[in-house]
Homo-oligomer: A and B are copies of this chain.
Amino acid sequence: MSVNVAIVGATGAVGQEFLTVLAERRFPIANLTLWASAKSAGKKFEFAGKTLTVRELTKDSFKDVNIALFSAGSSISREFAPAAVSAGAIVVDNTSAFRMKQGIPLVVPEVNPDQIAKHNGLIANPNCTTIIMTVPVWPLHKANRVKRMVISTYQAVSGAGAWGLYELESQLKAYAAGQPIHREKFPHQIANNLFSHNTPIDVNGYNEEENKVINETRKIFSDPKMNITITCVRVPIPRAHCESINLEFERPMTPEMVREILSKAPGVKLVDDRAKNHFPMPLEASGQDDVLVGRIRQDISRDDGRGIDLFVSGDQIRKGAATNAVQIAEKLIVS
């Protein structure tokens, strides 16, 4: 069975990764169409030996489309996803537009694949930071309930979009050449600097990115009482997010138990070589789908043996976005 696939936001960082991931995974495509704003219409990309031309997205773009992969921002999803669903497509939406809506599945295939079948035409792909954390934490949570998490992130610039990568590279080149550094879209200089995540602060003092991780994780884990505090930080890294995660379990948990569980967990790769000081790094996580996990150790600030620290790194454009959405699409066509 082959299906017709539409990519909405085809020229963005995630849109481009959709092309790579669909090809790599030999997704059974009958016809692939690429959609973007009028500004990007006419751009051409190669896929499976054919040249595809990006067209301007309209509400009529979805005739005969079976699966529409949306990644063009929340407002575009809000405006056009209903049209896609009306036309008979199933939308896998990579924006935050529908994630917290009741009745819309929010899916990480390694965590809650059973939710996929409950869709009414629309499935939401979680935030990248949420996905990268839930893949390794879920199998631990199943074995021994996680009562509370304290997370600090190290987020790559391309998480903000292709422009984030461009801005970091432009600033690094200016710095290397001894020229003045210009800031464009990020609120602060990013080369040689880091800053609190560039999303607005909500009334509870957390920024939007942090509240997304908290709320989405509760929905994905079906655990509305999951306690999470998180600090999201943008760092001068091109690609792949890292997260320093402190876990409090319901019962005692040892590093050996964690390693045993994670060594068998789907989507996880242990990188935890203490002798060689080799742990998860963005440079090694970039371009792969597994979430790297290391620095697994007993939290010595607790004397009840219920604390574990770990450090993870995952490619936020692949597993944090494109791969996760394509995995959902794969399960849609099998089911």
Contact = CB atoms under 8 A, between A and B. Distances in A.
Interface in A184-215: 187-189, 192-196, 198, 200-201, 204-207, 214
Point out which of A177, A201, A204, A276 has the most chain B C-beta atoms below 10 A from its C-beta: A201
B195 A300 contact: no
Given A172-B176, A205-B255, A205-B298, 11 more contacts: A149-B301, A150-B301, A152-B244, A188-B281, A192-B237, A193-B237, A204-B298, A205-B295, A229-B302, A231-B295, A236-B237
A175 interface: yes
A296 B195 CA distance: 14
A70 interface: no
Interface of A: 148-150, 152, 154, 172-173, 175-177, 187-189, 192-196, 198, 200-201, 204-207, 214, 227-229, 231, 233, 235-238, 242, 244, 246, 255, 274-279, 281-283, 294-302, 307, 309, 311
Nearest to A274: B201
Contacts of A195: 277, 279, 281
B244 A233 contact: yes
Contacts of A231: 152, 244, 295, 309, 311
A238 B205 contact: no
A233 B152 CA distance: 11
Per DSSP, chain A at the interface is mixed
Nearest to A187: B277
19 contacts: A149-B301, A154-B233, A172-B172, A173-B176, A187-B277, A188-B278, A188-B283, A194-B282, A196-B294, A198-B277, A205-B298, A214-B300, A227-B302, A228-B301, A229-B300, A229-B301, A229-B309, A231-B244, A236-B236
Contacts of A192: 236-238, 282-283
A150 B206 contact: no
